[in-house]
Structure 1
Amino acid sequence: MDNIAGTKSSLVWAVHMATAALVLLWVLPTLGLLVSSFRDADQIAASGWWRAVFSSEQNIVYRAADVQTQVQQGDLWVLQGNVFDGGKGEVQSFGITSRAPSDFAPGTAAPMKDGMAAQVEVNGDYRITAPKAFEGRSPRLFVTSLTPPRFTLANYSKVLFAEGIGRAFLNTMTVTIPATVIPILIAAFAAYALAWMEFPGRALLIAAIVGLLVVPLQLSLIPLLRLHNSIGIGKEYLGIWLAHSGFGLPLAIYLLRNYMAGLPREIIESARVDGATDFQIFLKIILPLSFPALASFAIFQFLWTWNDLLVATVFLGNTQDQLVMTGVLRELMGSKGGEWEILATSAFVSIAVPLVVFFAMQKYLVRGLLAGSVK
């Protein structure tokens, strides 16, 4: 009885569990990225994002105050300050060499060379004494501390007010909007022709479009760039618009053709009986009914183009006036890419606009993707 139409499958629980697992696989990394974007580099290096609300153990290598700040107290010269530099923490242990960074408990005096001594209190206050004036570089202290959780907006301030970020935002919008609209316009005409117009070779064209879906765009970057340079549109917005449109057309035509082919034939035939031309049918009937599919592709193309770095680098260039958002954020992180707090913050800054677009049009996404799958 489980296979009778209208009855509930006994495996519906497995579907729910699989769906929940997929949701967690996407939500948990995103949540971790969001939490990390509000933490500083030391906290990220010391513990995972899931421990962001707990105190973490950190190893601090601290250079004492400049020798110019030393003061004389009796027969001793003294350097003093706080290893947390105004922050908060609790010293667990400290050392005077990298080979023994935790030999001494807080509050004890650690003997150093040339008669010097160092002492670090639990709250981070330190005092280094010497029988004669300090010269050259000040000594280092190695501190193991328990640091309370702290969150900061400094990462977002650094990214949002970085040099050239405003220009890069405008460049990205200039690239993304035409590169989303152009393939939709072209693909809509092509999809209607492949779905409702009879002409020789239609099946071969559909097969070719499906085949182009699996061709990696990296194969065409160099030939296409040489073509753009030869006709004088290299490193210009027109070139990158055409490149993104060409890379997005196979998916657009495939998606829209499947949707349009699933529309009721009676509507099309009735319009033709009433004397409507193909262009009138396309403009007044097909386009309004195909809005879910158009919105679905618009989401995909907008997200792809907004987050793109490779195509923008190849077809637009790397000058300050041409850099897109991803290019500026790459430069901000440096060549080594080790500033994880900037990486997490940059990710959320870059996805702000795509999230607005996605949530504004997400109700059409599933309808457009499933269109044509059943009759």
Structure 2
Amino acid sequence: MYAHKRSPLVWFSHITVLLLVVLWTVPTFGLLVTSFRDKDQIVASGWWTALSTSTQNLIYRTPGADGQVEEDGVYVISGNALEGSAGEVASFGTSSLRPSEYEVGQTVDIDDGQTLTVDENGDYRMVSQEPFEGRRGQRIFVTAEIPPRFTLENYRNVLTSEGIGQSFLNSLTVAIPSTIIPVLVAAYAAYALSWMKFPFRNLLLAIVVGLLVVPLQMSLIPLLQMYNKIGQTFNVPSKTYVGIWLAHMGFGLPLAVYLLRNYIAGLPREIMESARVDGANDFTIFNKIILPLSYPALASFAIFQFLWTWNDLLVATVFLGNSEQTIVLTARLRELLGSRGGNWEILTASAFISIIVPLIVFFALQRYLVRGLLAGSVKGG
């Protein structure tokens, strides 16, 4: 008896899948870690160093003359160059050209008899025999070893100050009905194309298959023009959620009908015939038999449809616009990329907020995904 050996193609497939999983998981994990890091540490080091101490070059400006106090005949300005944060100062300087000129604990002359001392914990002390003058303080350049810092402030800023919370709700308002409506309509159509006999059934099925290759960009403008004309005729607003629900339904129906028809047509004919013998009509058969048996196919398409509508930008911009009341999450993130492109803590937190819902949907329904797609691909009526 020969031992079973896996072919090289099987090993290649497994390695390829593993590689794809790693390539998808690592950036997502890095995005999650970065979204919880302190904004200064995000700029100073990569996310893979999040658990290690980082060296940062900080600039601190002391208070001006208003912050001085008189002690034993001299004038003192004191504080903490690390602003109370944890860390150890390795060196400091008073010039941007020589930011690490002095060692901690060293007392240096800065100007007109004024001296500066910076301790390891960041405490500094400026002393002058004469009163300090001017409203602007002295700049202190500090090189410090900062321990890892994690915070929820990034998410707090995003969900409150940046308007992401409202956009998050707007995206849910768009995505949930835009997923449920096409699934239900396509399920009824798929049953009719599979088990009901009527004229031109095969022609309708061919039209559905043909619509799969129509680019969204080519049909978007004619659809918008038709929608606007209907709105003008009945005197209804054009930028409404109903409009984008109908648009997503139209763009999603061809794939939905195709997938569900293949699945439903492969269900055992004996079940339907037995139900008809017992007096069930098509509506009863669909609701009592077809829907419960079609959960894998329905869930597989629901995943694709939800991911598409949640991440959509083009259709949402055309049918909803970018007003504060209707702007979706993807459009809000686009604005953040333009206005806050340097604030990585804002962008990473925003990006992870945008992908957390699709991740939840995918992992909740992923057990149905492969079953539904495979069943629809090998069975036909």
Taking structure 2 as the reference length, what is the TM-score of the superposition? 0.84
| 1:1-375 pair list within 5 angstroms | 9-11=6-8, 12-73=10-71, 76-132=74-130, 133-162=132-161, 167-197=166-196, 205-206=204-205, 208-232=207-231, 233-268=237-272, 278-328=282-332, 335-375=339-379
Q: Structure 2 vs 1, CA of residues 140 and 227 (structure 1 numbering), >3 Å: closer, same or farther?
A: farther
**Residue identity (%):** 63
Q: Structure 2 vs 1, CA of residues 355 and 77 (structure 1 numbering), >3 Å: closer, same or farther?
A: same
Deviation at 1:312, TM superposition (A): 2.2
Q: Structure 2 vs 1, CA of residues 257 and 148 (structure 1 numbering), >3 Å: closer, same or farther?
A: same
Deviation string 1:43-68 (CA, Å, 9 cap, x unpaired) is 11111111111000111111112331
Say if 1:116 and 1:130, in contact at 8 Å, map to a contact too. yes
Q: What is the rounded CA distance, in whole Å, between the counterparts of 1:207 and 1:90 in structure 2? A: 71
Deviation at 1:282, TM superposition (A): 3.6
SS in 1 for 2:378: coil
Q: Structure 2 vs 1, CA of residues 263 and 92 (structure 1 numbering), >3 Å: closer, same or farther?
A: same
Deviation at 1:106, TM superposition (A): 1.8
Say if 1:191 and 1:260, in contact at 8 Å, map to a contact too. yes
Deviation string 1:75-132 (CA, Å, 9 cap, x unpaired) is 6533221111010111122221222222222222344344444332221112234454
SS in 1 for 2:259: helix
Structure 2 unaligned regions, length at least 5 = 232-236
Q: Structure 2 vs 1, CA of residues 291 and 237 (structure 1 numbering), >3 Å: closer, same or farther?
A: same
Stretch deviating more after TM superposition (223-232 or 37-46): 223-232
Matched with 2:234 is: none
Deviation at 1:242, TM superposition (A): 0.8
The count of corresponding residues between Structure 1 and Structure 2 is 372
Q: What is the rounded CA distance, in whole Å, between the counterparts of 1:228 and 1:359 in structure 2? A: 36
SS in 2 for 1:323: coil
Structure 1 unaligned regions, length at least 5 = none
Q: What is the rounded CA distance, in whole Å, between the counterparts of 1:357 and 1:338 in structure 2? A: 31
Deviation string 1:214-251 (CA, Å, 9 cap, x unpaired) is 54433343333333222225101111111111221122
Please tell me the residue identity of whatever aligns with 2:255: L
Say if 1:118 and 1:127, in contact at 8 Å, map to a contact too. yes
Deviation at 1:168, TM superposition (A): 4.0
Q: Structure 2 vs 1, CA of residues 307 and 82 (structure 1 numbering), >3 Å: closer, same or farther?
A: same
Q: What is the rounded CA distance, in whole Å, between the counterparts of 2:259 and 2:189 in structure 1? A: 11
Deviation at 1:145, TM superposition (A): 1.2
Say if 1:120 and 1:127, in contact at 8 Å, map to a contact too. yes
Say if 1:64 and 1:138, in contact at 8 Å, map to a contact too. yes
Q: CA RMSD in A?
A: 3.1
Q: Structure 2 vs 1, CA of residues 220 and 95 (structure 1 numbering), >3 Å: closer, same or farther?
A: farther
Q: Structure 2 vs 1, CA of residues 157 and 254 (structure 1 numbering), >3 Å: closer, same or farther?
A: same
Say if 2:87 and 2:144, in contact at 8 Å, map to a contact too. yes
SS in 1 for 2:102: coil
Stretch deviating more after TM superposition (167-176 or 20-29): 167-176
Q: Structure 2 vs 1, CA of residues 241 and 117 (structure 1 numbering), >3 Å: closer, same or farther?
A: same
Q: What is the rounded CA distance, in whole Å, between the counterparts of 1:59 and 1:163 in structure 2? A: 28
Deviation string 1:108-160 (CA, Å, 9 cap, x unpaired) is 23443444443322211122344542313112111111100011121222233
Q: Structure 2 vs 1, CA of residues 369 and 138 (structure 1 numbering), >3 Å: closer, same or farther?
A: same
Say if 1:96 and 1:110, in contact at 8 Å, map to a contact too. no
Q: What is the rounded CA distance, in whole Å, between the counterparts of 1:94 and 1:214 in structure 2? A: 64
Say if 1:77 and 1:131, in contact at 8 Å, map to a contact too. yes
Say if 1:70 and 1:134, in contact at 8 Å, map to a contact too. no
Please tell me the residue identity of whatever aligns with 2:306: F
Q: Structure 2 vs 1, CA of residues 284 and 7 (structure 1 numbering), >3 Å: closer, same or farther?
A: farther
Deviation string 1:180-210 (CA, Å, 9 cap, x unpaired) is 1211122123323444456676556545544
Say if 1:88 and 1:147, in contact at 8 Å, map to a contact too. yes
Deviation at 1:262, TM superposition (A): 2.5
Deviation string 1:265-285 (CA, Å, 9 cap, x unpaired) is 444455567776554544443
Say if 2:167 and 2:329, in contact at 8 Å, map to a contact too. yes
SS in 2 for 1:61: strand
Please tell me the residue identity of whatever aligns with 2:361: V
Q: What is the rounded CA distance, in whole Å, between the counterparts of 1:67 and 1:212 in structure 2? A: 74
SS in 1 for 2:376: coil
